[in-house]
Amino acid sequence: MILSRRLFFALWPDDASRRALAAEAGRLAPRCGGYPLPAQNMHITLAFLGSVDASRLAALLELTRAWPAPQGEWTLDRLGHFPQPRIVWAGSQTPDPALLALHAELWQALARHGFTAPQRDFTPHVSLVRQADLAAPDSRLPAPLRWRFDHLALVESQLGDGGSRYRTLACRSG
């Protein structure tokens, strides 16, 4: 039997940013339909790998541990809506160049391990509301949120009855 794990690389917000994002999700959910994501699940996905054979995990753990500690600040100032998969999200009018570079460099490293980057453009975002039938009533966050990022995590997503649970497998921080 081949075991696989649902994996992705992510950046996690600090506690203050997480609380602010959770409050915004709670404010938006009744207006957009759907439900707010739990604060502990809020993150930005840099590279979604999907179902990965467990035999490849050691190489991904090593890649994470050897990664230079990321450093940057991301300002979230806008709201968006992905009609499919029905998500309201927070992002930036102008994404941070360090964040875009981190995404590109990570996929270059993953390509050396046989992973293929998605063919769509990278839209840095934090999902706030799932199963949202409507976009946010405003395209701007009430107040810009500065999120300083300084660690990269390899995360496993475990799907269950109550939604996704995330478990950090490895982390590289500055």
Helix/strand/coil for 126: strand
The pLDDT of residue 1: 45
Q: Mind telling me the catalytic residues?
A: 43, 125
CA distance 90 to 96: 14
Coarse DSSP helix, strand, coil percentages of the chain, rounded to the nearest 5 percent: 30, 40, 30
Mean pLDDT by 10 residues, the chain (174 residues): 83 90 96 93 95 94 91 92 94 89 95 93 94 92 90 91 86 82
Taken in order of first residue, the domains within the chain and their CATH numbers are 4-173 (3.90.1140.10)
Triad 58, 122, 43: Cα angle to 5°: 60
The pLDDT of residue 147: 87
